[in-house]
C-alpha cells in the first residue's frame, strides 16, 4: 500500500516536469523549428495558397491553442498524422520503437555489464597493469568519435574492403515465412552492437570504477577484510552492492533515451528503420506531430523511470525510504 | 606471451582494414533466388508522402511513378527525351486552335487489389477516364496541400473556379471531363503546348477514389495505383514492392524506345526485346544518404545493385575527366553511364533590392547593372566546376540548359567566362570603388558545402576589388526558411538549383516572367516588358524553329541584364552491377525505367 501511495505521489509530482519539458520544447518547435509552409507549396504559389497551407498546417492558430492541443494529444496518446509522411504518428512509432529496442538493447546491456565487470577487475587491481590497461582502453574508447567507430567497424567487419562477415546495411530479421529468425537477427545486430559497446564501455568503465574505488576505501570494506573475507566476497557483497545506487541511477536514466530516442548514427549508417531515424527526419523536416510525440513520451518515461529508480534504491539499500 | 598474441591479433585486424581498394575484387552474386528475381535500387535521399499530388521531390516522384500510371511517359532510351503514351492509348488529339485535347485511355487496365473496391477477392477495378478527372481535382482541393497544382493553374477552363467555389467533387468542371469511360477531354483557356508534358509527371498520376476515401490521409503511405509495382512495405530506410501480376501486357520494343547499339549495346537490354515488363518479381528501393555506407553496400555484391557515385568516391572511380574514363577496376566490375541532370545551379539577384536591383532611375540602374555584371564576370565557373563538381559539370550561359533541345551551343559564353579586368572596368566606369560598394549578402540554406561555395565566391569577388568585409554570408537553418526569405524578397542574392519539370526551355524561362514574381516562381522579381511580351507570344506556340528563336532571344536578354550568375548542369556517374540489365535515368524518366530492369 505504501508502495502504491508512493508511486501515485511520484507520478503526480512528475506532472510539472512533463508540463515544463513539453512547454519549452513546443516553444522551440513553434518559434525556431523549420517552417513547412514553403516546403509544401508548389513552384509558383500565390499569396492565397500560402495562407491555405499555413491554415492546414495549423500555423495560423494561437500558441496557447496549439499547446493545449498538444497536451490533449499526450493525454489521449493520439498524435495524429505526420505532416510530411501521411502516416499516423502512433503507427510510425509502433513500427520504429521495437526496432530501436532490438537494436540498442544488446549494446546497452553488454556495455553496462562488461563495464561493471571491468571496473570491478580494475578496482580489485588498483594501480597494477590490469587497472592501467583497462583505463587506457577506456580512454581510447571515450576518445574516438562514435561516427569514426561506426564507419571503421562497418568497413572492418561488413564490407569487401574488410572481413566481409556481416551485412553492411539493413534490418531483415525475419525468415521467408515471416517468423523471427535469431540467425538473421544476429547477422544484422552484431556490428552495431560491437560499435555501441566499444564506445559505451569507455565511459561506463571509468564511471563505475570511480564509484567502486570510492566504496572500497570505506570502513565496512576494511572491516570485511579484517574478518578475512575473500577478495571476491568483498568485491561483490561489500563493494558492488553498496555502489549500486549510482550505478542504478546511470543505467535507469539512460533507458528513456534508449527506448524513445534510439541511435541516429547507428540507424542511418546501418540502414535500420528505428525511432532515431524517424526523429531525425522529423527534426530536419519540421514534422511537429512526430517531435511532439517523441518529446512528450520521453518526458513521461522519465517520470516512470524516476519512480522505478526510487523503488530500486530501496531494494539495494534498505536505508532509503519511500517517501 | 599473451600480450604478444593480442598484439598480433590487433595488427592482423588493422591489416584487414587497410586492404588496398584497388586490389579488391567484386563478385556480383545472382539476384535470382528460388526463381524470384529481386532488384535492389538505391537513392541518395528519402521520399516523403507517396501521394502523387505531393510528389514534389525527385525521391517521392521516383517511387510514385512505379506505383501509379501517368497518361504519358518518356521513351526509355531516346534522347533528347520523347514522350510516349503510357495509360493513354496514343498521343492526344489536339484541336486546330490548340485549346481542346482529347485523350483515349487504354481499356482493361486495373488498379492494384484493395478491399475498398468491394469486388470479389478484393480485386482492383478497371481504370476509367473519370479517375483521371478525379485525380486532377484532388490537386486543386485546398485541404490536400498538393504541390503540383501550379502546372495547371490558370490553364484549364473552370478548374480554378471549381476550387474557388469550394472544391465540391460532385460538381463538374467545364474544361476537364470524361466523355465516356475511356475518353478524357481537356479544354484550355489559352494554348498550353507543355500540357502533354505535365501528364507525364508524377503529380498527374491516376488514383482510385474509393481507396482515397477509405484511407483518407493514409493514402500517402498506403498507395494503390495501377502501375507496374505494388507497394508492400515502406519505412524510413527501404520501400519494398512486388511485381503487379495484372500489369498490362505491352511487349518491350527496344527500337521504339530509342535503342542505339553504340550506346546501349553493352547493357544487355537487347535480350529483353519483345518481352512483357516488369521483368523482376521484387523491387527494393533503399534510401541511403550516407555515401560511405552506400558505397560499402554497393560494392559488397549482394546488397544494393545501383548507385550514383558519391562525391568522396569520384577520385576512386574516375581515371581521367577529359575525356571521361573510369578506372579499369570499376569498368571490369560494374556497368556505368554518365548522365547530365535536367536542371542547373545558379546564383540569382533580387531585382527589387535597392542596391543590386533596378528602380527606374537610369543612373541608379546603370550603376547596379554594372555591379551585377561585374560579379557575373568575376565568377570563375571553371574553378568552381573543378573544386566542387570534379570538373564534370557542363557550364552554359543564361537560363536555357544544355539538356533541352532549344539550347544554343553557339551563344556567347562571355557571361560564364572569367574576365577580372573587364569586371574591374565595369565597376570603374560606373564610379564604384572600395569606398562606396554596397554590402553583398549571399543568402543560402546553411550547410558546409554552401559555406565553401560562399568562401570561393568571396575570393572571386575580392579579386576584382570587392572588399572582403563587404561580402557577407547569410545562411538559413532549412531550405524552407531560405525559401521563405526569397518569397518575401529578403535575399538580395541567393544560390540555388532548379530541376526541370519537362524538357522544354519554357520551364526555366517562366522563372523570369514578370507576373510570376514572388511569391511565384520569379524569385528574381525580374520585370522586363519586352521579355514578358516574348514569353506570352512563345508560351502558346508549339515547338518550332520560330519559337526556339524567341526562346534564345529571351535568354540573351537575361544574360545582358545580368540577372543571374549562371549556370552549371551537374553530371552524374551511374554504376550498376553486371548482373543487372538496365540503363538508369532519374531525370525526366523518374522511376519510369525500373519496369524495364531485369536481373540475372
The predicted pLDDT at position B34 comes to: 83
Percentage, residues of chain B above pLDDT 90? 79
Among B468, B432, B484, B588, CA closest to B76? B588
Peptide bond into B80 cis (omega under 30): yes
Nearest residue to A286 via CA among B50, B496, B476: B476
Query: Nearest-CA neighbor of B240 among B283, B277, B270?
Result: B283
CB contact under 8 A, A161 and B21: yes
Q: Cβ–Cβ of A86/B149 closer than 8 Å? A: no
**What's the confidence (pLDDT) of residue A42?**
74
| Residue B556: all three cell numbers together | 540573351
At a CB cut-off of 8 Å and minimum separation 6, what does B370 contact?
A: B426, B427, B429, B430, B432
> Which pLDDT score is estimated for A59?
87
Q: What is the spatial distance between Cα A48 and Cα A31, in angstroms, rounded to a whole number?
A: 23
Model confidence at B15: pLDDT above 60: no
Chain A residues 67-86 with a CB less than 8 Å from chain B: 81, 84-86
Do residues A73 and A93 lie in contact, with contact meaning Cβ atoms separated by under 8 Å?
A: no
| Residue B157's pLDDT band (cuts 50, 70, 90) | very high
> Residues B82-109: pLDDT tens digits?
999 999 999 999 999 999 999 999 999 9
Contact B520 A35 (CB under 8 A): no
Give pLDDT tens digits for A251-298: 888 887 777 666 888 998 999 999 999 998 888 888 889 999 998 988
Interface of B with A in 474-503 (CB under 8 A): 477-481, 483-484, 487, 501
Tell whether A168 is within 8 A of chain B (Cβ).
Answer: yes
For residue B381, the cross-strand partners are none
Tell if the CB–CB gap between A96 and B235 is shorter than 8 Å.
yes
Residues B114, B123 contacting (CB under 8 angstroms): no
Asked whether the beta carbons of A260 and A78 are under 8 A apart, the reply is no
pLDDT, position B28: 55
Which residue matches cell numbers 502533354?
B196
Whether the predicted pLDDT of B393 surpasses 60: yes
Q: Check pLDDT > 90 for residue A309.
A: no
> Within 13 A of A131's CA, how many CA atoms are on the CB side?
13
Beta carbons of B220 and A39 less than 8 Å apart: no
pLDDT of residue A1: 56
Say yes or no: B533 contacts chain A, CB-CB below 8 A: no
Average pLDDT over residues B357-370: 95
Residues in chain A: 323
Nearest to B17 among A35, A41, A152 (CB): A152
pLDDT digits (tens, 9 = 90+) for A114-137: 999 999 999 989 889 999 999 999
Q: With 90 as the cut, is the pLDDT of residue B322 above it?
A: no
Burial of B341 (0-12, 13-18, 19+ CB in 10 A): buried
In angstroms, the CA B395 to CA A1 distance is 78
Its pTM stands at 0.89
Average pLDDT over residues B517-536: 94
Q: Is A257 on the interface with B (CB under 8 A)?
A: no
**Minimum distance, in Å, between the CA of residue A277 and any CA atom of chain B:** 7
State mean pLDDT over A213-226.
87
- A275-285 vs A89-124: helix axis angle to the nearest 10? 120
**Could you say which DSSP state residue A34 is in?**
P
Q: In whole angstroms, give the CA distance from residue A79 to residue A75.
A: 10
How far is Cα A249 from Cα A244, in angstroms, rounded to an integer? 8
CB count within 10 Å of CB B406 equals: 21
Q: How far apart are CA B140 and CA B296, in angstroms?
A: 44
Residues in A closer than 8 angstroms to B481, CB to CB, are 34-35, 38
Burial class (CB in 10 A: 0-12, 13-18, 19+), B224: buried
- Rounded to whole angstroms, the Cα distance separating B217 from B236 reads 18
- Using DSSP, state whether B334 is helix, strand or coil: strand
8 A C-beta contact, residue B597 and residue B31: no
Interface of A with B in 101-120 (CB under 8 A): none
pLDDT of residue B262: 94
Peptide bond into B120 cis (omega under 30): no
Q: What is the secondary structure of B187-203 as a DSSP string?
A: EBSS--TTHHHHTTSGG
* Other CB atoms within 10 Å distance of the CB of residue B253: 12
- At A233, the pLDDT band (50, 70, 90 cuts) reads confident
The strand pairing partners of B187, in sequence order, are: B100
Q: Is A50 on the interface with B (CB under 8 A)?
A: yes
Confidence of residue B23 (pLDDT cuts 50, 70, 90): very low
Output the pLDDT for position B8: 44
Query: How far, in Å, CA of B438 to CA of B466, rounded?
Result: 9
CA distance to partner chain B, nearest, from residue A57 (Å): 9
Contact B235 A95 (CB under 8 A): yes
Q: Could you give the C-alpha distances from A122 to A47, A110, A114, A216, B170, in angstroms and in order?
A: 68, 18, 12, 12, 77
**Shortest Cα distance, chain A CAs vs residue B25, angstroms:** 8
- pLDDT at residue A112 tops 50: yes
**From A94, which residue of chain B is nearest by alpha-carbon distance?**
B235
Cell of A246: 549510482
Task: Tell me if chain A has a CB within 8 Å of the CB of B288.
Answer: yes
Above 70 in pLDDT, residue B3? no
The answer to whether B260 and B246 have CB atoms below 8 angstroms apart is: no
Contact A89, A80 (CB under 8 A): yes
Instruction: Kindly list the residues from chain B whose CB atom is less than 8 angstroms away from the CB atom of residue A286.
Output: 478, 480
Q: How confident is the model at residue B18 (pLDDT cuts 50, 70, 90)?
A: very low
Percent of chain A with pLDDT over 90: 43
Q: Map residue A223 onto helix, strand or coil.
A: helix
Question: By the 8 A CB rule, do B65 and B196 touch?
Answer: no
Element holding B102 (H helix, E strand):
strand B100-104
Give one DSSP letter per residue of B2-40, joined into a string.
HHHHHHHHHHHHHHHHT--GGG-------SEETTEEEEE
Q: Would an 8 Å CB–CB cutoff place B297 in contact with chain A?
A: yes
Euclidean distance between CA atoms B504 and B500, whole angstroms: 8
What is the pLDDT, as a whole number, of residue B20? 44
pLDDT band of residue B282 (cuts 50, 70, 90) is: very high
Whole-angstrom distance, CA of residue A163 vs CA of residue A194: 15
| Burial category of A323 from C-beta neighbours within 10 Å (exposed 0-12, middle 13-18, buried 19 and up) | exposed
C-alpha–C-alpha distance, residues B82 and B86, integer Å? 12
pLDDT over 50 at B7, yes or no: no
> Is there a contact between A86 and B220 if contact means CB atoms under 8 Å apart?
yes
For residue B322, give the C-alpha cell: 577529359
Return the residue of B nearest to A268 by Cα. Answer: B290
Q: How many other CB atoms are found less than 10 A from the CB of residue B337?
A: 16
Buried b (16+ CB within 10 A) or exposed e, B153-186: bebbbbbbebbeeeeeeeeebebbbbeeebbbbb
**Shortest CA distance from A80: residue in chain B:** B217
State the count of interchain CB pairs (< 8 A) between A and B.
164
Asked if A278 has any chain B CB less than 8 Å from its own CB, the reply is yes
Contact B297 A169 (CB under 8 A): yes
Q: Which of B67, B49, B205 lies closest to B139, judged by CA?
A: B205
Strands B324-326 and B343-349: unpaired
Q: Which three cell numbers stand for residue A204?
A: 561506463
Q: Is the pLDDT of residue B600 over 80?
A: yes
Best mutation target, A28, A31, A39, to test chain B (most B CBs within 10 A): A39
CB contact under 8 A, B56 and A284: no
Strand partners, B282: B38, B242
DSSP B112: P
**Percent of chain B at pLDDT exceeding 70:** 95
- Distance of residue A293 Cα from the nearest chain B Cα, in angstroms: 17
Residue A171 pLDDT exceeds 60: yes
Report which secondary-structure segment, H or E, holds B494.
strand B493-499
Interface of B with A in 359-378 (CB under 8 A): none
Task: Determine which of B387-391, B440-444, B492-496 has the lowest per-residue pLDDT on average.
Answer: B387-391
Residue B6 pLDDT > 60, yes or no?
A: no
B442 three-class SS: strand
CB A5 within 8 A of CB A294: no
Res B17: pLDDT: 44
Question: Is residue B278 reached through a cis peptide bond, with omega within 30 degrees of 0 on the bond before it?
Answer: yes
Which of the two residues, A214 and B534, has the higher pLDDT score? B534
Are B521 and A43 within 8 A, CB to CB? yes
SS3 B347: strand
And the C-alpha cell for B61? 516522384
**pLDDT at B13 exceeding the cut of 50:** no
B43–chain A Cβ distance below 8 A for any pair: no
To probe the interface with B, which of A160, A194, A276 has the most B CB atoms within 10 Å? A160
The distance of A274 to chain B (nearest Cα, Å) reads: 8
Tell whether A130 is within 8 A of chain B (Cβ): no
Cβ atoms < 10 Å from Cβ of B472:
13
CA distance A311 to chain B (A): 38
Q: How confident is the model at residue B11 (pLDDT cuts 50, 70, 90)?
A: very low
Asked if residue B398 lies in contact with residue B444, where contact means CB atoms within 8 angstroms, the answer is no
pLDDT for residue B505 is more than 80: yes
Interface of B with A in 227-256 (CB under 8 A): 235-238
**Interface predicted TM-score of the whole assembly (ipTM), two decimals:** 0.86
Decide: A305 and A253 in contact? Cβ < 8 Å. Answer: yes
Cell numbers given for A21: 519539458
Q: Check if A156 contacts B (Cβ < 8 Å).
A: yes
Mean pLDDT of chain B: 92
pLDDT of amino acid A262 = 60
Integer Cα distance of B95 and B195 in angstroms: 13
Instruction: Give per-residue pLDDT as tens, B402-428.
Output: 999 999 999 999 999 999 999 999 999
Longest CA pairwise span in chain A (Å): 86
Chain A residue with Cα closest to B507: A43
Q: Residue A120: what are its φ and ψ, rounded to 5°? A: -65, -45
Q: Do A86 and B218 touch (CB under 8 A)?
A: yes
B-chain CB neighbours of A152 within 8 Å are 17
Amino acid at each position: 500500500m505504501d508502495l502504491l501511495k508512493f508511486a501515485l505521489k511520484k507520478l503526480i509530482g512528475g506532472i510539472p516536469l512533463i508540463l515544463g519539458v513539453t512547454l519549452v520544447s513546443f516553444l522551440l518547435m513553434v518559434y525556431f523549428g523549420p517552417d513547412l509552409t514553403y516546403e509544401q507549396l508548389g513552384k509558383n504559389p500565390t499569396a492565397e495558397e500560402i495562407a491555405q497551407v499555413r491554415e492546414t498546417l495549423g500555423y495560423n492558430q494561437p500558441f496557447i491553442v496549439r499547446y493545449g492541443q498538444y497536451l490533449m494529444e499526450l493525454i489521449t496518446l493520439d498524435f495524429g498524422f505526420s505532416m510530411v509522411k501521411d502516416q499516423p504518428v502512433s503507427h510510425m512509432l509502433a513500427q520504429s520503437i521495437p526496432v530501436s529496442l532490438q537494436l540498442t538493447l544488446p549494446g546497452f546491456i553488454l556495455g553496462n555489464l562488461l563495464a561493471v565487470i571491468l571496473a570491478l577487475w580494475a578496482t580489485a587491481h588498483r594501480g597494477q597493469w590490469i587497472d592501467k590497461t583497462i583505463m587506457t582502453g577506456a580512454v581510447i574508447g571515450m576518445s574516438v568519435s562514435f561516427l569514426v567507430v561506426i564507419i571503421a567497424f562497418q568497413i572492418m567487419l561488413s564490407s569487401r574492403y574488410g572481413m566481409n562477415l556481416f551485412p553492411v546495411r539493413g534490418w531483415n530479421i525475419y525468415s521467408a515465412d515471416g517468423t523471427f529468425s535469431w540467425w538473421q537477427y544476429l547477422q544484422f545486430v552484431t556490428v552495431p552492437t560491437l560499435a555501441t559497446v566499444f564506445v559505451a564501455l569507455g565511459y561506463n568503465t571509468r564511471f563505475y570504477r570511480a564509484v567502486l574505488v570510492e566504496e572500497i576505501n570505506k570502513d565496512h570494506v576494511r572491516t570485511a577484510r579484517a574478518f578475512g573475507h575473500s577478495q571476491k566476497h568483498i568485491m561483490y557483497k561489500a563493494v558492488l552492492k553498496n555502489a549500486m545506487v549510482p550505478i542504478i541511477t546511470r543505467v535507469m536514466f539512460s533507458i528513456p533515451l534508449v527506448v524513445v530516442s534510439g541511435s541516429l548514427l547507428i540507424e542511418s549508417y546501418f540502414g535500420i528503420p528505428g525511432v532515431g531515424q524517424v526523429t531525425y527526419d522529423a527534426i530536419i523536416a519540421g514534422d511537429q506531430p512526430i517531435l511532439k510525440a517523441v518529446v512528450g513520451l520521453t518526458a513521461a518515461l522519465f517520470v516512470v523511470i524516476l519512480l522505478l529508480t526510487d523503488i530500486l534504491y530501496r531494494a539495494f539499500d534498505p536505508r532509503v525510504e519511500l517517501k | 606471451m599473451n600480450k604478444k598474441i593480442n598484439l598480433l591479433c590487433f595488427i592482423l585486424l588493422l591489416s584487414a582494414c587497410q586492404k588496398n581498394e584497388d586490389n579488391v575484387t567484386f563478385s556480383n552474386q545472382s539476384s535470382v533466388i528460388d526463381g524470384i528475381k529481386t532488384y535492389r535500387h538505391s537513392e541518395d535521399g528519402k521520399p516523403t508522402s507517396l501521394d502523387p499530388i505531393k510528389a514534389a521531390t525527385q525521391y517521392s516522384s521516383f517511387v510514385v511513378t512505379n506505383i501509379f500510371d501517368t497518361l504519358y511517359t518518356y521513351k526509355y532510351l531516346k534522347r533528347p527525351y520523347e514522350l510516349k503514351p503510357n495509360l493513354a492509348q496514343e498521343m492526344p488529339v489536339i484541336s486546330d486552335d490548340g485549346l481542346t485535347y482529347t485523350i483515349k485511355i487504354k481499356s482493361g487496365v486495373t488498379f492494384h487489389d484493395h478491399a475498398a473496391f468491394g469486388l470479389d477477392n478484393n480485386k482492383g477495378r478497371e481504370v476509367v477516364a473519370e479517375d483521371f478527372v478525379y485525380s486532377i481535382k484532388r490537386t486543386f482541393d485546398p485541404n490536400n496541400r498538393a504541390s503540383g497544382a501550379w502546372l495547371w493553374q490558370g490553364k484549364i477552363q473552370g478548374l480554378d473556379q471549381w476550387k474557388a467555389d469550394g472544391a465540391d467533387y460532385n460538381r463538374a468542371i467545364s474544361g476537364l471531363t470524361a466523355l465516356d469511360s475511356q475518353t478524357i477531354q481537356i479544354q484550355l483557356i489559352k494554348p498550353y503546348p507543355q500540357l502533354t508534358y505535365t501528364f507525364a509527371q508524377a503529380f498527374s498520376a491516376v488514383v482510385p477514389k474509393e481507396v482515397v476515401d477509405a484511407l483518407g490521409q493514409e493514402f500517402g503511405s498506403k498507395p494503390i495505383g495501377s502501375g507496374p509495382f505494388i507497394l508492400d512495405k515502406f519505412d524510413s530506410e527501404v520501400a519494398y514492392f512486388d511485381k503487379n501480376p495484372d500489369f498490362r501486357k505491352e511487349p518491350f520494343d527496344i527500337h521504339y524506345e530509342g535503342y542505339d547499339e553504340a550506346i546501349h549495346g553493352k547493357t544487355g537490354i537487347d535480350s529483353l526485346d519483345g518481352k512483357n515488363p516488369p521483368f523482376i518479381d521484387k523491387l527494393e528501393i533503399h534510401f541511403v544518404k550516407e555515401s560511405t555506407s552506400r558505397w560499402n553496400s554497393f560494392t559488397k555484391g549482394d546488397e544494393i545493385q545501383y548507385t550514383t557515385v558519391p562525391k568522396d568516391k569520384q577520385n576512386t572511380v574516375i581515371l581521367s575527366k577529359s575525356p571521361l574514363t573510369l578506372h579499369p577496376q570499376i569498368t571490369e566490375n560494374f556497368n556505368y553511364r554518365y548522365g547530365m541532370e535536367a536542371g542547373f545551379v545558379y546564383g540569382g539577384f533580387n531585382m527589387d533590392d535597392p542596391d543590386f536591383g533596378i528602380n527606374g532611375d537610369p543612373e541608379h540602374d546603370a550603376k547596379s547593372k554594372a555591379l551585377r555584371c561585374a560579379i557575373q564576370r568575376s565568377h570563375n565557373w571553371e574553378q568552381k566546376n573543378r573544386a566542387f563538381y570534379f570538373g564534370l559539370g557542363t557550364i552554359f550561359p543564361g537560363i536555357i540548359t544544355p539538356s533541352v533541345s532549344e539550347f544554343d551551343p553557339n551563344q556567347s559564353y562571355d557571361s560564364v567566362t572569367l574576365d577580372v579586368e573587364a569586371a574591374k572596368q565595369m565597376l570603374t566606369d560606373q564610379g564604384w570603388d572600395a569606398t562606396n560598394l554596397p554590402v553583398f549578402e549571399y543568402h543560402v540554406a546553411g550547410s558546409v558545402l554552401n559555406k565553401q561555395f560562399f568562401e570561393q565566391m568571396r575570393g572571386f569577388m575580392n579579386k576584382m576589388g570587392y572588399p572582403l568585409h563587404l561580402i557577407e554570408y547569410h545562411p538559413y537553418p532549412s531550405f524552407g526558411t531560405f525559401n521563405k526569405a526569397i518569397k518575401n524578397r529578403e535575399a538580395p542574392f541567393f544560390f540555388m538549383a532548379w530541376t526541370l519539370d519537362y524538357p522544354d526551355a519554357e520551364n526555366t524561362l517562366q522563372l523570369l516572367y514578370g507576373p510570376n514574381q514572388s511569391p511565384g516562381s520569379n524569385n528574381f522579381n525580374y520585370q522586363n516588358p519586352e521579355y514578358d511580351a516574348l514569353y506570352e507570344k512563345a508560351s502558346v506556340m508549339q515547338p518550332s524553329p520560330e519559337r526556339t528563336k524567341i526562346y534564345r532571344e529571351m535568354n540573351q536578354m537575361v544574360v545582358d541584364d545580368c540577372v543571374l550568375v549562371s549556370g552549371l548542369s551537374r553530371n552524374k556517374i551511374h554504376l550498376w552491377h553486371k548482373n543487372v540489365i538496365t540503363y538508369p535515368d532519374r531525370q525526366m524518366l523518374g522511376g519510369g525505367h525500373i519496369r524495364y530492369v531485369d536481373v540475372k
